Amino acid sequence: MTANAQGKRAKRDHSTGAQTAAPQEPGSFISAPRLKPRPRLLAVLALVFAAWVAFLVALYFKTVSPRRSTIPGYDAQGMVETTPQSDANR
């Protein structure tokens, strides 16, 4: 290839302004600029995640947990529903 054809293939990296060459082989690796550590962003995202999990746990205890099926104790008090009997059955 000519130098002009290679220049057209080169891509510009918009984050740093540097030119990166197009990969010559299918398995070749192009290095990208490293990401900067952002501890404040990590802290904010961790707080948002913790708030979301707390919200889901609160919804669980408010809706699902009270409606669990339990076996009543032997001394449980309650009303027994009876069917009305007709005078002919007496």
- For 3-46, the DSSP string reads HHHHHHH-EE-TTT--EEPPPSSTT-----PPPPP-HHHHHHHH
Is 9 inside a domain boundary? no
Residue 48 belongs to domain spanning: 36-66
Beta-carbon-side half-sphere exposure of residue 59 (alpha carbons within 13 Å):
6
As for how many domains the chain has, the answer is 1
Is 54 inside a domain boundary? yes
pTM: 0.43
Q: Which of 20, 15, 21 is nearest to 34 (CA)?
A: 15
Is 85 inside a domain boundary? no
Is 42 inside a domain boundary? yes
Is 79 inside a domain boundary? no
| Highest mean pLDDT: which range of 6-10, 26-30, 40-44, 70-74 | 40-44
Is 25 inside a domain boundary? no
Note the pLDDT tens digit of each residue in 21-37.
555 677 777 888 999 99
Is 80 inside a domain boundary? no
The Cα 7–Cα 19 span in angstroms is 10
Q: Count the neighbouring beta carbons within 10 Å of the beta carbon of residue 20.
A: 13
